[in-house]
Chain A
Amino acid sequence: MNDSQTRSGDWATSNKKNTTRLRYWTFAWVATMAVAAFGPKIIWDFATMPTILALLVNLAVGFGMIAANKRYLEGLDELHQKIFLDAGALTLGVGLVCGLSYELLEDIKLISFEPEISHLVMLMCLTFLAGMIFGHRRYQ
C-alpha cells in the first residue's frame, strides 16, 4: 500500500512537473516569437544577423515546446489522452477544411482582403478549446 501510494504520488508529481515544463516552454516560445516579430522593427532596425538569430532561437524554442507537449501528453492518463486526441483531431479537421475555404474566398473574389494566417490560428485555438471543454463535459 505504501509502495503504491509512493508510485501514485510520483505520478501526480510527474504530471505537475510536465504541466509546469510545458507552461515555461510555451511562455518562452511566445516571448521569442514576440522578439522575432517586433525586434527587427523596434530594436535592431531590420539588421539581417539579429533577425536570423531571433528566428532560429524562436524555431529552436518552438521545437522544445513541441517536445514538452509530447511529454505532457504521454504523462496524462488514458481518458485525458483520449480527450486531447479527440480535440486535436477536431482542430486538425476544422483547420484544414476552414483554412482552405478561407484561402479560396480571396481567389474567387468573395473577399477583397488577403486571408491572414493568424485568423486560422485563432480559429484552431478556439476549436481546440471547445473540443477540450466538450470532452471534459462528456466524461463528467
Chain B
Amino acid sequence: MKNRLKVLRAERDWTQAQLASELEVSRQTVNAIEKGKFDPSLPLAFKVARLFGLSIEDIFHYEAAS
C-alpha cells in the first residue's frame, strides 16, 4: 500500500516525532508507514485521515502486489 504521509507531513513542516506524538505511536511506526514497510490498521488510518482533514483514500492507495 502506498501513501502520501511523508508529503502531507512535509507540507505542514512536522517532524516524524511530532506526527508520531499526535498519532500516539512511536516515531519508528511513522517511519515504517511512510516507507510503505508497514500498513496501519483501520483505526490508525482513520486517525491519520482525521489529523490531516482528509479521507483515507486521499492518503492511502491500495496497490495489488505484482
Interface residues of A (CB under 8 A from B): 4-5, 7-9, 11-12, 77-80, 82, 136, 138-140
Q: Does B66 belong to the interface (CB within 8 Å)?
A: no
Question: Is the Cβ of A78 less than 8 Å from the Cβ of B25?
Answer: yes
Given the complex of chains A and B, what is the CA–CA distance between A8 and B23 in angstroms? Answer: 7
Known: A8-B24, A79-B26. A138 touches B41 (CB 8 A): no
User: In the complex, are the beta carbons of A77 and B26 less than 8 A apart?
Assistant: yes
Judging by beta carbons under 8 Å apart, are B25 and A77 in contact?
Answer: yes
Q: In which size bucket is the chain B interface?
A: 10 to 19
**Interface residues of A: mostly helix, strand, loop or mixed?**
helix
The complex places the Cα of A140 from the Cα of B28 at a distance, in Å, of: 7
A-B contact pairs, 25 of them (CB 8 A): A4-B22, A8-B21, A8-B23, A8-B24, A9-B21, A77-B24, A77-B25, A77-B26, A77-B29, A78-B29, A78-B41, A79-B26, A79-B28, A79-B29, A79-B32, A79-B38, A80-B29, A82-B38, A138-B37, A139-B29, A139-B32, A139-B37, A139-B38, A140-B28, A140-B31
